[in-house]
Amino acid sequence: MTKITFIGAGSLGFTSELVRDILTFPLLEDAHIALMDIHPERLEWAKRQVEKLIAAGKRPATVSATLDRAEALKGADVVLTTILAGSTEVWRHDIEIPKKYGVDINVGDTRGPSGIFRFLRTINPMMDIVRDMEKYYPNAVLLNYTNPMAMLVSAIQKQSFITVTGLCHSVQGTAMMLARWIGAPYEEIDYVCAGINHQAWYLEYKWNGQDAYPLIRKAVTERPEVYNEEIVRNEMFLALGYYVTESSGHNSEYNWWFRKRPDLIEKYCTHGTGWNPGEYAYILKEYQRNEATWKDQVRERLEAPLTPEDLQRGEEYAAYIINALKGGEPFKFNGNVRNTHLITNLPEGACVEVPVYVDRAGFHPTHVGALPPECALLTQLSSGIEEMAVQASIAGDPTMVYRAICHDPLTASVLSLAEIRQMTNELFAVHKDYLPQFKVHRV
C-alpha cells in the first residue's frame, strides 16, 4: 500500500482532481490518502469529496484527515504540498503596496516584489514540513505545487536532503494550446522545453517530427482570435522567436515591456481572451470572491453526481510520477530541479525547469545545454534575482531582499532606487510577523 499525504488538502478542487488521477493507476488504487490542513471545515469537505471519488470508482483506497501534520507525514511515500501562507488579508499587501508606488501587478505569486515577499512568508511553513519529513519519514519524496515554485524549491534543496521537485501545469497546458492553434492532435506533438518555472521556452516544438514553429507563427500573425488569446506571449514570441510557458497575465509582470505605463497595460494586458487576463490584482480578486462563496461551491460539488467522465485521468504530472516511483511505467515530465550543469547559461545550483525522467530509481533530469541568447538574457536575470532572494532568506539579510527587488525588470522600469527602498521597507513592516528569519525588518 502506498501512502500519499496532501499538506494543504483544503485546496479542494486541486486535491480531488489529483486523487482522481492517482486512483486510475492499478498500482495506486489501494493507496491510503492522508489529508492534512489547518482549516478544519475545509479539511472535512476534502475528506468527503475523496470518499465520494473512492466510492464512485469502487476503489479499495482509504482516506484519513487530520490537523496534525506529523501524523499525516508518518509513513508517507509521497508528500504533495499545496499550501497558502496567510489569507487574502495578508498577501493582499504583496499586491497593494507595490501598486501604491506605481508597480501594477496582475498575479504576484512568482517573482517581482510580490513574489519575493510571498516566498519569504511561505518558505517558513514549507521548511517546517520538510523538517517533519526528515524526522518522520526521510525517504519520502516531496512534490511541490506551491508558488513561488523556483524560489521555494531552490531554498529547500539548499537546506535539506529530502528529494523534492516542483510541478506546474503550464508546460503541458501551453503545449496543448499551441497544438490546438495549428490543428494538431496533441499525441502527435513532441517538444523540448527548458528554463525556469513560468519562464521556460519551447526550444523545439514538432508535429510528427517536423518543426511546427512556422505554423505557430502563421496562426499568430494571420488569425486575430489566436493573437488575442495570448497577446503578451504572442508579442514575446514574435520578438524573441521562441514560445514561453505560463499565461500572458503572469508573463506581463516578468519583464520591462508591458506594464510600466497605463497605455501599455490598456493595449497589451486588458483585452486578451485567454485565462488570466492582465487586469490589476486579478488573482487576488478571484481568491476574495472564492472566499465569499466557497461553502456554496463545495456543497454543489459534493451534491452533484459523478459521471464516468468525472473519473477519467487528467493531465497533471503528480499521479504519473507516483506511479513511476512505485514501479509503474517510467514517465517524462518537466520538473523543477537543482541546476547541476543542466542549463549551462543559468546560475549553477539554481532551480531550473527541464525535462525529467522518473522511474522506481528516482528522478533523472536531462542535460539541455545553453538556452538561446535571446531567451537566456531575461531568464538569467529572473533566475539570478530569485537566487538572491533565497540567499537573503537563508541569511536573514533584508538588504539582499532590497537588492533583489532593485533588479526586478518591472519594478526598475517604474521606480527609482530610493523609491524601491521605501517600498521594500513598507513590505517588511506589514509582513514582519510572518518573517522570523529576519532579526531586522528594515533596509
Q: Taking a C-beta distance cutoff of 8 angstroms, is the pair 84, 9 a contact?
A: no
Do residues 28 and 326 touch, judged by C-beta distance below 8 A?
Answer: yes
pLDDT of residue 210: 98
For the segment 131-154, the average pLDDT, to the nearest whole number, is 96
How far is 399 from 141, CA to CA, in rounded Å? Answer: 34
3-166+300-324, superfamily in CATH? AglA-like glucosidase (3.90.1820.10)
Residue of 163, 159, 170 lying closest to 201 (CA atoms): 170
Which pLDDT score is estimated for 304? 86
Contact 110, 254 (CB under 8 A): yes
348-393 per-position pLDDT tens digit:
999 999 999 999 999 999 999 999 999 999 999 999 999 999 999 9
- Known binding residue 367? Answer is no
5/62 Cα distance (integer angstroms) = 12
pLDDT of residue 158: 97
Residue matched to cell numbers 517530427: 209
139: which residues sit within 8 A by CB, 6+ positions away?
none
User: Residue 402 pLDDT more than 90?
Assistant: yes
Task: State residue 87's pLDDT score.
Answer: 87
Report residue 291's pLDDT band, with 50, 70 and 90 as the boundaries: confident
Which residue intervals of 141-184 are DSSP H helices? 149-159, 170-182
Q: What is the mean pLDDT of residues 257-282?
A: 91
Would the pLDDT of 275 be above 80?
no
Distances (CA, A) of 102 to 53, 75, 242, 301, 420: 47, 49, 30, 40, 11
Within 8 A by CB and 6+ apart from 258, the residues are 232, 235, 252, 264, 265, 268, 269, 278
Q: Which helix (H) or strand (E) holds 278?
A: none
Which parts of 309-389 are beta strand (E)?
331-338, 351-359, 362-365
DSSP letter assigned to residue 335? E
Give the residue from 121, 100, 263, 392 showing the smallest Cα distance to 406: 392
Query: What is the per-residue pLDDT for 292?
Result: 82
Percent of the chain with pLDDT over 70: 100
Positive or negative: CA dihedral 383, 384, 389, 395: positive
92-101, 217-226, 285-294: range with lowest mean pLDDT: 285-294
pLDDT at residue number 274? 84
Question: CA angle 185-190-195, nearest 5°?
Answer: 125
> Residue 277: its pLDDT value, please?
80
Label residue 308 by pLDDT band (50, 70, 90): confident
pLDDT, tens digit, 9 for 90 and up, residues 176-229? 999 999 999 999 999 999 999 999 999 999 999 999 999 999 999 999 999 999
- For residue 290, pLDDT over 90 is answered with no
276 has a pLDDT exceeding 80: no
pLDDT at 306 over 90: no
pLDDT at 246 over 80: yes
Side chain identity, residue 167:
L
* Boundaries of every domain in the chain: 3-166+300-324
Q: Which residues are known catalytic residues? A: 169
What pLDDT sits at residue 148?
97
pLDDT band at 11 (very low <50, low <70, confident <90, very high): confident
Does the pLDDT at position 278 exceed 90? no
The cell numbers describing 335, all together, are: 520538473
pLDDT in tens, 66-86: 999 999 999 999 999 999 888
Cα atoms found within 13 Å of the Cα of residue 43, Cβ hemisphere only: 21
User: In this predicted model, which residue has the larger pLDDT, 278 or 27?
Assistant: 27
Other Cβ atoms closer than 10 A to 272:
22
- Residues near 9 by beta carbon (within 8 Å), at least 6 away in sequence: 15, 35, 36, 37, 42, 43, 46, 65, 82
Asked whether residue 198 is marked as a ligand-binding residue, the answer is yes
Per-residue pLDDT for 29 more than 90? yes
* pLDDT higher than 90, residue 24: yes
pLDDT reported for residue 5 = 98
User: What pLDDT was estimated at residue 10?
Assistant: 87
Element (H, E) at 194: strand 189-196
Give the per-residue pLDDT at 150: 98
